[in-house]
A = this chain, B = another copy of it.
Amino acid sequence: MREKKIRVGVLGATGAVGQRFIQLLADHPWFEIGVLTASERSVGKPYAEAARWILDTPIPEGVRDMVLVDTTPEAVGDRCDIVFSALPASTAREVEPAFAAAGFAVFSNASAFRMDPDVPLVIPEVNPEHLGLINVQRERRGWSGFIVTNPNCSTIHLVCALKPLHDAFRLEQVMVTTLQAVSGAGYPGVASLDIVDNLIPYIPREEEKIESEPLKLLGTLVGDTVHAAPITISAAVHRVPVIDGHTEAVVVKMKSSPSLEEVKAALAGFRGVPQRLQLPTAPDPAIIVREEPDRPQPRLDRNAGKGMATTVGRLRPDPILDYKFVLLGHNTIRGAAGASVLNAELALALGYLDK
């Protein structure tokens, strides 16, 4: 499609999310990896030596011997104009602004700036128009580059499923109970003694993210401000012994009173900008509605749409709110690295990366 691929960098390339970025970018039709950064003790080492690779596909050939550089704009230099950030929030808070100030387009999976008023928090199927905040951000902060963020892993799949319902029927209340995979905690993350024959009904700061991020995502950009959607969300989160794939039991109340068939049709028929633009990483359909009584299941459905789709099942009426259903999605592909990559594809397709 493109004559020449665009070189990109991955910040924090050795961790669990960094590895997913590398995996997803390895054969990307638009992007190619030009530089990888890591923390101090890994700088100067070849990638394959520094990273404890935990994915079930091998380290891509071109990456094995790539020497890791420091996570600074200076160290990255002119090896790329776009960087994907797999940094932890605390590091991201310090480092990402430096990259944006130095002219880099930063597509970040970190939570550090998600809720900043002038930072786009974007799911391409949900609120592509929020990329308009890029201009606001640049002007306000005096940056030549910018930061675009994607939401928390649980939020992404939840909001993918909520979007067509909100558009069609106006959501008022959402109750969500999550059963989240251990890969969401990174590596080493959850101790095996805490999760074999066990589960943990708690993930630090997760419920707060799920209760707030969707309001911005489903909110309306008016001028230079996103007005939060007037929805109340209640979240209860659990870590379960599953490697990949977050499951979410959802109950919704809507302003209008759609029939079950209307709700199902809204979900199954949903197509967003990425599907219309046929972005390389966009799943089509974005939402898969299954009819079997016992689906979705993590091991069987997490790789749907190459890990980019959200699968919904068990749609049924709820005696307290309106309808309930189960949704499932891959938490480190669409829920993390894939979300940032799709954001970059969207930004590129919409012209935000033109010089």
A interface with B by C-beta (< 8 Å): 16, 53-58, 173, 175, 177, 179, 182-183, 187-202, 204, 211, 232-234, 236, 238, 240-243, 247, 249, 251, 293-304, 313-314, 318-321, 324, 326
Contact = CB atoms under 8 A, between A and B. Distances in A.
Contacts of A191: 187-192
A300 to B, nearest CB: 6
B238 A200 contact: no
A201 B320 contact: no
A243 B296 CA distance: 18
Contacts of A233: 319
B300 A177 contact: no
Contacts of A211: 319
A243 B190 contact: no
A311 to B, nearest CB: 11
Contact of A56 (B54, B196, B202, B300): B300
Contacts of A294: 200-202
B201 A192 contact: no
30 contacts: A53-B300, A54-B193, A54-B300, A56-B299, A56-B303, A57-B303, A177-B249, A179-B179, A179-B240, A182-B192, A182-B193, A187-B193, A188-B191, A188-B193, A189-B191, A192-B196, A194-B297, A196-B196, A196-B242, A197-B299, A198-B299, A199-B242, A200-B294, A201-B314, A201-B326, A232-B319, A234-B321, A236-B324, A241-B241, A241-B242
Contacts of A324: 234, 236
Most buried by B among A189, A195, A233, A303: A195
Contacts of A298: 197-199
B251 A175 contact: yes
A182 B194 CA distance: 11
A287 to B, nearest CB: 15
B240 A297 contact: no
A296 B211 CA distance: 23
A199 B249 contact: no
A199 B179 CA distance: 9
Given A198-B297, A238-B247, 6 more contacts: A56-B301, A188-B188, A188-B191, A188-B194, A201-B294, A234-B251
